[in-house]
Chains A and B, each alone.
Chain A
Amino acid sequence: MLKQAMKKIGFGLLLLLTAPLALAEFRWNFPEPVTPMALDTLHVHNKFMLIVAVIFVVVLAIMIYSLIKHRKSIGHQAVADKAPSTATEIFWTLIPFVILLVIDFVIMGIPAYHSVIMMEDTRNESDMVVKVTGSQWRWQYEYMGNTDKGSEDGLIDAKGIKFVSNLSTPQDQVNGTAPPVDTPDSPYLLDVDNRLVLPVGAKVRILMTSTDVLHNWWVPQFGSSRVAVPGFIRETWVQVDKAGTYRGQCKELCGKGHGYMPVVVDALPKEEYAAWVALKKNEINEQAAGADKEWTKDELMEQGKVVYEKNCAVCHQVTGAGLPPAFPALTGSKITTSPIFDANGKYLPDSHMDRVLNGVRVMPAWKAILNDSEIAAVITYERNALGNSVGDVIQPAQVKAARQ
């Protein structure tokens, strides 16, 4: 470990020396704002920073003047103080008080007031509503549909679309066993499998909640950040005025995966957005059809592997070995090898299916996150891979029945 650290430091020093020459990505202020709120925040921030910088420099200058001119070593004598009268003292201490009073409550206070009002105005004039749910450690997005205004504006209604958004940086890079790879399309730690897609120019009211602990949905270029509280709904809004891809991260310590919970939003022009909605709705219909058909074991295993590695491997590991004692192994575990259904075909409490649907302690309930085919696939995969070979196959229809 020490050797590794030494190597790291040596390498770092080298980088440090060459960094300014190579195009170092130093960034000195907020990233480019793309919503009215972020723009306002940037203005407020710049203005306030300027004010405090001026205060700082003026005070510092006075102090430094005094430090230089009133030194003992150049023979400056302390002024013989006859104690100042109370009146003078009050006068002189009132001066900084009044200056600050004006700065605080007029120069800074008034714009700050307007920013607050703007930021909290989530409902007026909004075109559509999206629900964002934080979970350890992924975001779920659900389109709740247009408002009347949105429909009048001719926005396609995305109601019913919902999906989960997971970090897509490969696990070996995350675990530090492979060096970080960064591409413009998929920056290290800042990319996900399913992005939230929003129409450019529409005011989107965002409802926020969580299934487990506190999370905070934050995209710096939007200027909005809001805590997701389990059991409560919080709200904020965004109106992205420029098409593009915007990235952020969870900003509330939410456990070991806190650093691995990026937010990625694609803002698309209205037509492209409409095309995306149509595509998504099509997918949903296909899946609904898929839920009714009989799947082969190979199909289930193939999809199950994908679902497993995306959702389950963070805790139970890719091999199924788990991280005991917090995260149990799936390989050879009682749950993954014992029967799921009783003689009448009813699923058993505390069975494999029950655990996946409803969760237990830190293990999340997946019934709201994954659809029937995904749950059927992942259970089949867990029972027939990861060193297990129970041999049975779960069909989406069985999951659907178990949900009731």
Chain B
Amino acid sequence: MSTTTVAHHDEYADHPNGIMRWLTTTNHKDIGTMYLTFSLIMFLVGGSMILGIRAELFQPGLQLMNPDFFNQLIGVHALIMIFAALMPAATGFANWMIPLQIGAPDMALPRLNNWGFWLLPPSAILLTLPFTLALFGIGDGALATGWTFYPPLSIQGGIGVDFAIFAVHLLGISSVLGSINIIVTLFNMRAPGMTLMKMPMFAWGWLITAFLLIATIPVLAGAVTMLLTDRHFGTHFFDAAGGGDPIMFQHLFWFFGHPEVYILLLPVWGFIPQILQTFSRKPMYGYKAQVYSLIAIGAMSIIVWAHHFFTAGMPVPALLYFMYSTMAISLPLAVLFFCWIKTMWRGSMSFETPMLFTVGWIILFGIGGLTGLVLADVAADAQYHNSYFVVAHFHYTLFAGGIMGIMAGVYYWLPKMTGHMYNEKLGQLHFWLTAISFNLTFIPQFFLGLAGMPRRIPDYALQFAEFNMISSISAFVLGLSQLIFVYNIISTARGGKKATDQVWEGAEGLEWTLSSPPPYHSFSEQPTVK
């Protein structure tokens, strides 16, 4: 009797149980779990929205919704996927894994961490509430400007735009808080002997991400605040009639927006090499080269923003500068690809689900990166820009490069986090369905774009019908396949085959020295790294 009490005391006495545990927790693993859960839910919400869109685009003619509602769905889909699904997933992993990987007991600023998370649910509500209000006749729905908020359209918009602006503010604050926490943790709490150049790659990816967030989120916050004052307080930042310029907003927005795409991907570039080395049973190739490439990509991402609006009119020297600087990002990226493949080369590979997702990720993200290289060409971009070609390109980077990377991470770490093995058969099925239907969804969109179909239109000319139909059907398969993923996660969390501490035969790193699941306070005794 007394022994159980003692054991119990060790583990739980310093924090509440039940619902209060989750509401008040400052524990990095609890917070990580909440982030990941939130992300999964929002992934499904954002996904259902786009299925509505794909249903409408299934064949020519307007069938299910009016054009305004269509525009709302597109904008909110993007905001949710970027800010509420992809970013929180990466932050969830950061919370879970960074302390484990660097041998720390917790994050450096636990209370800040709690705050960072609890800003998310209100902003998710702000994003989705306008739909609901519109049902009761209040306002005219969510923002219908696309996720980019371009004025003057966003100045015309209704109350939904204000909601989205406040949501972005909250999300931004949350990201900055999280970034501060990660930087402080990585600089102060590494185990003795772990120099920066011995830090796990995932930590490096996040360190650069955190700096990018701190550098760019305030610019976004400033831009949308200026928009807000233009809307309601008579300023004319973006109105030519008052001396402003609508294109200035695009500069401000993309000064944040382009680094943002790397913010979404750098954490993934961090753990992909870790997964590769595990399943190749061989140390990652070119650790230093990869670290320097990540730093280079992070730095370069801040200087290429205007390639998102080449057709908005710019002087020739500016066009040339943004074209060549954009192309230059492919150099460090090529080094990364090379290192990943070299890591697999002459290894001893096995293909459990995390490895399947990783290999698929390399191929598909490769398509995203290479089509991005082509987009950098100013003249050709006049054709690609705002056509479905771009939609396909950025889904190869954001869905394949972002979400599928995160999925690799989930399968990789789920046994560590829950202490149970997931169902391998279902995992593999999930991979194949996702990979195939993803390609069938987006390859047709490349051709649609080339043929001349603009993005963000609710109805289209008949010449685009066939490809759209293929794309829609595949999108539904893609969407439904994710239910397998959800089921697999839930059933793994509930129980199943016990996972060993090391979980994967080739896994190396501090997180695999702890039990699965790790104790509530991760490292009560600091490990040393040689």
Contact = CB atoms under 8 A, between A and B. Distances in A.
A100 B470 CA distance: 35
B30 to A, nearest CB: 36
Interface stretch (A48-56, A337-345, A374-382): A48-56
B258 interface: no
A106 to B, nearest CB: 11
Interface in B58-101: 58-64, 66-68, 71
Given A104-B330, A104-B331, A253-B145, A66 B311 contact: no
A24 B370 contact: no
Contacts of A87: none
B374 A52 contact: yes
Interface in A162-179: 173-176, 179
A359 interface: no
Contact of B59 (A8, A31, A70, A187): A8
Contact of B467 (A26, A97, A248): A26
B493 interface: no
A180 B380 CA distance: 32
Contacts of B334: 96-97, 99-100
Contacts of B241: 231
A96 B369 CA distance: 15
A113 B377 CA distance: 9
B501 interface: no
B331 A101 contact: yes
Interface string A335-357: 00000000000000000000000
Interface string A92-135: 11011101110011001100110111111000000000000000
Q: How extensive is the interface on chain A, given as a class? A: 35 or more
A188 interface: yes
A141 to B, nearest CB: 19
Contacts of A86: 288
B512 interface: no
B380 A81 contact: no
Interface in A4-44: 4-5, 8-9, 11-13, 15-16, 19, 24-31, 37, 40-41, 44
A37 B67 CA distance: 33
Interface in B23-79: 55, 58-64, 66-68, 71
B432 interface: no
Contact of A96 (B337, B345, B346, B466): B337
A253 B156 contact: no
B328 A259 contact: no
Contact of A70 (B150, B286, B349, B454): B349
Interface in B414-467: 447, 450-452, 454, 456-463, 465-467
Given A19-B466, A97-B335, A249 B454 contact: yes
Interface in B341-374: 341-342, 344-351, 359, 362-363, 366-367, 370-371, 373-374
A256 B348 contact: no
26 contacts: A4-B63, A12-B472, A30-B452, A44-B377, A49-B374, A60-B366, A66-B347, A70-B280, A70-B346, A70-B348, A71-B351, A72-B281, A72-B350, A76-B348, A79-B346, A81-B283, A95-B338, A96-B335, A109-B327, A174-B62, A214-B153, A223-B379, A224-B382, A229-B240, A253-B456, A260-B67
Question: 8 tightest A-B contacts by CB?
Answer: A231-B240, A176-B62, A115-B379, A259-B457, A220-B452, A52-B370, A93-B289, A96-B338
